[in-house]
Amino acid sequence: MAEFVAENCGVSTPGAGGKSAQPGDEADGRATNEVSVSNGDCGQCAPENQGLETANASVVLDGKIGIPRKASIIKDGSRRYKERKKTVSFSSMPTEKKISSASDCINSMVDGSELRKVRSNSRVYHRYFLLDADMQSFRWEPSKKESDKAKIDVKSIKEVRTGKNTDTFRTNGNSDQISEDCAFSIIYGENYESLDLVANSADVANIWVTGLRYLISYGKHTLNMIQSSQDNMRASWLGDLFDEADVIGGKCIRLCSAVQLIKKLSPGLKNVKIELKFKELHKAKDKIGSDVTKEEFIEVFHDLCTRPEIYFLLVQFSSNKEFLDTKDLMIFLEAEQGMAKVSEDISVEIIQKYEPSKEGQLKGWLSLDGFINYLMSPDCHIFDPEQKTVCQDMNQPLSHYYINSSHNTYLIEDQFRGPSDITGYIRALKMGCRSVELDVWDGPDNEPVIYTGHTMTSHIVFRSVIDVINKYAFVASEFPLILCLENHCSLKQQKVMFQHLKKILGDKIHADPPNLEDNYLPSPSDIKGKILVKGKKLASNCIGSEGEVTDEDEGAEMSQQMNNEGGEQQTVVQPKKFQLSKDLSDLVTLCKSVRFKDFQTAFQNQKHWELCSFNEVFASRCATDHPGEFVNYNKKFLARVYPSPMRIDSSNMNPQDFWKCGCQIVAMNYQTPGLMMDLNIAWFRQNGNCGYVLRPAIMREQVSYFSANTKDSVPGVSPQLLHIKIISGQNLPKPKGAGAKGDVVDPYVYIEIHGIPADCAEQRTKTVHQNGDNPIFDESFEFQINLPELAMVRFVVLDDDYIGDEFIAQYTIPFECIQPGFRHIPLQSLTGEVLPHAWLFVHVAITNRRGGGKPHKRGLSVRKGKKGREYATMRILLIKAVDEVFKSAAQPLREATDLRENMQNAIVPFKELCGLSAVANLKQCILALSPRLVGPDSSPLLLFNLRNQYPTMEAQGLLPEVLKKVVTAYEMMIQTSRTLLESSDSVYERILQVQKSAMEFHEKLHDMAMKEGLKGRKLHKSVESFTWNITILKGQADLLKHARAEVLENLKQIHYAALTCNLAKGEVGPSSGSGSRGHRSLEAIPEKAVREDDITDEEN
């Protein structure tokens, strides 16, 4: 049995070739049980650390390799499988009891747990920790210390910290291999010593953190408090529901009624699972009959519907430890969900909306079930509700937007033999598509038809398509719709086309000719409700009723490709000429189709209303060979990219490959689901699903340095760090067609980042075996996002299987639409439908990245002294006058960097002294600090003076040494923040002035370079350096503006957190309707500090 326990706890036993632990191994430094920790179940181990061993033992808690993989897409032959057979369980009983209350945590602690004790000298010791039966202390064994010393009294504990947030963890050499979710620290004694521990799973860590915090709060009264209002309130609520169902008053209800009642309360549960749980309970009691008593109903509900991961979250914020009152909820909303100015009225409103019990509603308490209801509501979805309406600037030129586009919209299957149907247009337009394609040919009875030429696709009548477009054009969006008209008709049927278009669409067609004096297309707002016809256009000097133009036939390309694949000799199809009706030509105004030759010719000759269509293969070549020129081309002109003719099966190209070049119209085969269509649908879900998404600023600015293929940070763009914790899943369905496994699901979650090459990344969680109902993952990941405006995050749930991992569900979201905090993700099927009751529960945090290069393992905790600081520098153009202007930027750029870095570096030690990671915000810091600021007699040791321009910490008596350090760090943080606010205005102006002066040379830069004798590559390099410098100047100015906004936000967070925690000197905490209480100090910041229009303090 000892060997079994040791094996399952990850401990090397003598039988396994290790040494048994000796008493005193820690005290005398001989760590016979010392290990290098390989992450195992506690999170993902970095690949470079795999297989790391010490002379004594290597503990691997799980046999999995930490390399991300997607077996259904990328086979990983190196993966090591455990010898484990797929089995089907006919019992619903879990292998371990579900933790759903403080009593469960206390009982588990009394039983004891295997934990790893971490020391700063890179050593890790396995110890067995258990809580004494009297709950007054906990101890560990083995230890050379005397038994009364190998323990800690609960009353001496000052704080329990989660994560790796002590000096011991920060200095331990193996800290990078330890999961943040499995680590916690106990701060105890008058000297605030730390006992730093690592559990074998996040669940075990949560049990100890929750139990210890409960003991700290209630001490000797813990036993009494365990019988708390939460259990009574929950039992009372469930009892009332049971009584309502017990219509005959027999104190029992039928099994089917009990099942339906639980199903109503938790719709995601399967009937068969609920019924099986009741039957197992009856069998355990040797009960005859199937009727259900009130106690049995409450027990089964408690067992099936309690989510321990949300219970652990609730107790973190609950002053009662069993429910959230209005103040607890306010703190949660402000600190975790990012809400500002939360009043008690808002908390009460949420409680009234989501708390199921009448008692909780009356008393203003949010129970665990109410908290679950709230977290699963649309209020806590990951998608930002602001993005559900049009929220972007719609007054930019048309070329500055990505446009939701469909290819061969009439097809509903493949490209060669598939049927055509008007439902293709209806579906695309309802989904917000703003560019549809009409491939028009001569049809019978003088009626043009639509189909793919040179193929066997079926035909639909042109007129019926125009009727459908007229009906659905502006149902999903009021912004302009582009009709990509590929015209192959005779002049006779072109007349019919024109008549249908004019008669059916009428004034909706944009008929005004382009303004020759403009350099850019009109904005989407300028032409709301208008239909733009894209097609060939006769020359302006054509005076007849028809003329000759060059044909563009995508169908001919496909036919040629089919013939080539059939072994026929490859031939190049030369552009054909055809006759175009002037009436039809005149309908083309802002989207005249022209053939692309090269970028130089386009820059010299192309008009802003002319549009080029690129074959996917040619566009890819442009993106690879001329990434910078392609981006610059798309700043002014519309570019449409259509799929390669090789895609006969209607598969889709990756739209990101062309969005990163700035291509606006990337035509997708809407009928084909999969990753590429997921990206397209998710991307255009933002901005109210209106079909237009503003491109990144760096792709719109007149002068900017950006390459679509960059594999490093983007000059002038502040990178972001995305921190994602995958906590759990709910009601994951089995994969379609996976009948061989029955109902068994072994899920894991894959996280993909899509964007520019520098951002593309992927990570995966561990597999949770045989649990699709409520798998707990508890794993954290970090991604650096270099171009946030173009990045997307995709969550994919897969079923781990030997043969090939099968798709379960996915959800894709633009990075800019992600809401931070604890969020539920509604999962979708392969075809994009929302899966009923299937969710992922995650925590998201987004922080700024300091400096360039690869992300540091500790994210924001990167403190650079001035000697190690990287300052932005200007490139030399070898044009004297211009170089002199850029040279004058050196000092303000240096000052800007120092202001930012000094402020950011001062924040890090304050966060660390508060016991939080660098991901935390200052509101969370003050909340975490608040218990330490109260003395033994409940009087405050420190208060915040909010009447000052900048909040100060004022001691209310003698302070312990640890709080003196906190005050010192806080004062340094405030001082650097104040310096930034008071100095950034002038530095910002100086940087912008240099940029403005340099831009005066832009138009004549080429001539100036020629005068300096620069030619060929040197000339190109000089122009490139000019673009680089302008981009750096704007980027550094933006960074300073963002740093200023960050300081103002930090001051607000300190202000409101102090009020919420009742730590404001002479102030009362926020109450009902007191959203603006105590706002005076924020308004007292000097006028100069908030005057600049470009550096605003925007309040949400």
> Of the given ranges (343-347, 539-543, 618-622), which has the lowest mean pLDDT?
539-543
* The pLDDT value given to residue 5: 35
- Does domain 230-305 sit in CATH 1.10.238? yes
Mean pLDDT, residues 944-956: 91
> Of the given ranges (250-264, 455-469, 566-580, 968-982), which has the lowest mean pLDDT?
566-580
Mean pLDDT, residues 279-300: 90
Contact 500, 462 (CB under 8 A): yes
Helix, strand or coil for residue 1050?
Answer: helix
* The pLDDT value given to residue 34: 39
Q: Is the pLDDT assigned to residue 596 strictly greater than 50? A: yes
CA nearest to 726, candidates 766, 779, 775: 779
Identify the residue with better confidence: 93 or 516.
516
CA dihedral sign, ordered 536, 542, 545, 550:
negative
* The pLDDT value given to residue 740: 56
Neighbours of 289 (CB within 10 A): 8
* The pLDDT value given to residue 228: 53
Neighbours of 466 (CB within 10 A): 21
Identify the residue with better confidence: 77 or 818.
818
pLDDT tens digit sequence for 824-851:
999 999 888 999 999 999 999 998 764 3
**pLDDT band with cut points at 50, 70 and 90 for residue 100:** confident
* The pLDDT value given to residue 515: 86
- The amino acid that residue 737 corresponds to is G
Mean pLDDT, residues 965-993: 96
**pLDDT band with cut points at 50, 70 and 90 for residue 931:** confident
Residues in contact with 5: Cβ distance below 8 Å, sequence separation at least 6, in sequence order: none
* The pLDDT value given to residue 831: 86
Q: Is the pLDDT assigned to residue 1042 strictly greater than 70? A: yes
Q: Is the pLDDT assigned to residue 40 strictly greater than 70? A: no
pLDDT tens digit sequence for 189-230:
988 899 999 999 988 999 999 999 888 887 666 666 665 545
Contact 894, 1035 (CB under 8 A): no
Identify the residue with better confidence: 124 or 432.
432
As a whole number of Å, the CA-based R_g of the chain is 33
* The pLDDT value given to residue 290: 85
* The pLDDT value given to residue 280: 92
What is the C-alpha separation between 560 and 354, in angstroms, rounded? 62
What architecture does CATH give domain 2-67+99-226? Answer: Roll (2.30)
* The pLDDT value given to residue 584: 94
Q: Is the pLDDT assigned to residue 578 strictly greater than 70? A: yes
- The amino acid that residue 190 corresponds to is E
* The pLDDT value given to residue 1097: 39
pLDDT tens digit sequence for 341-358:
788 999 999 999 999 999
pLDDT tens digit sequence for 253-266:
999 999 999 999 99
132-136: list long-range contacts, CB under 8 Å, 24+ apart: 135/106, 135/110, 135/215, 135/220, 135/222, 135/223, 136/220
Mean pLDDT, residues 542-546: 79
* The pLDDT value given to residue 6: 37
* The pLDDT value given to residue 147: 66
Mean pLDDT, residues 940-945: 92
What is the C-alpha separation between 532 and 427, in angstroms, rounded? 20
* 946 phi/psi in degrees, rounded to 5: -90, 0
* Helices 202-218/102-111 angle, 10° precision: 110
Kind and range of the H or E run holding 847? strand 834-848
DSSP code per residue over 424-446: HHHHHHHTT--EEEEEEE--GGG
pLDDT tens digit sequence for 361-419:
999 999 999 999 999 999 999 999 999 999 999 999 999 999 999 998 988 876 666 78
Domain 400-563+576-699: CATH superfamily, name plus number: Phosphatidylinositol (PI) phosphodiesterase (3.20.20.190)
DSSP code per residue over 949-960: SS-EEEESS---
Identify the residue with better confidence: 726 or 341.
726
- In the chain, what are the domain boundaries? 2-67+99-226, 230-305, 400-563+576-699, 720-848, 880-1091
Q: How far is CA 839 from CA 87, 332, 496, 775, in A?
A: 25, 22, 52, 11
Identify the residue with better confidence: 729 or 285.
729
User: To the nearest whole percent, how much of the chain has pLDDT over 90?
Assistant: 59
What architecture does CATH give domain 720-848? Answer: Sandwich (2.60)
Identify the residue with better confidence: 1095 or 111.
111
Q: Is the pLDDT assigned to residue 898 strictly greater than 50? A: yes
**pLDDT band with cut points at 50, 70 and 90 for residue 739:** low
Q: Is the pLDDT assigned to residue 545 strictly greater than 90? A: no
**pLDDT band with cut points at 50, 70 and 90 for residue 738:** low
Residues in contact with 1022: Cβ distance below 8 Å, sequence separation at least 6, in sequence order: 877, 878, 879, 1005, 1009, 1014
User: To the nearest whole percent, how much of the chain has pLDDT over 70?
Assistant: 81
> Of the given ranges (35-44, 443-452, 582-591, 654-663), which has the lowest mean pLDDT?
35-44
10-34 burial: b if 16+ Cβ within 10 Å, else e: bbbbeeeebeebeeebbeeeebebb
Q: Is the pLDDT assigned to residue 860 strictly greater than 60? A: no
pLDDT tens digit sequence for 670-725:
989 999 999 999 999 999 999 999 999 999 998 888 888 888 888 888 899 999 99
Q: Is the pLDDT assigned to residue 747 strictly greater than 90? A: yes
Q: How far is CA 83 from CA 51, 698, 819, in A?
A: 19, 52, 41
Q: Quick one: tokens of 536? A: 């060939």
Contact 747, 775 (CB under 8 A): yes
**pLDDT band with cut points at 50, 70 and 90 for residue 1098:** very low
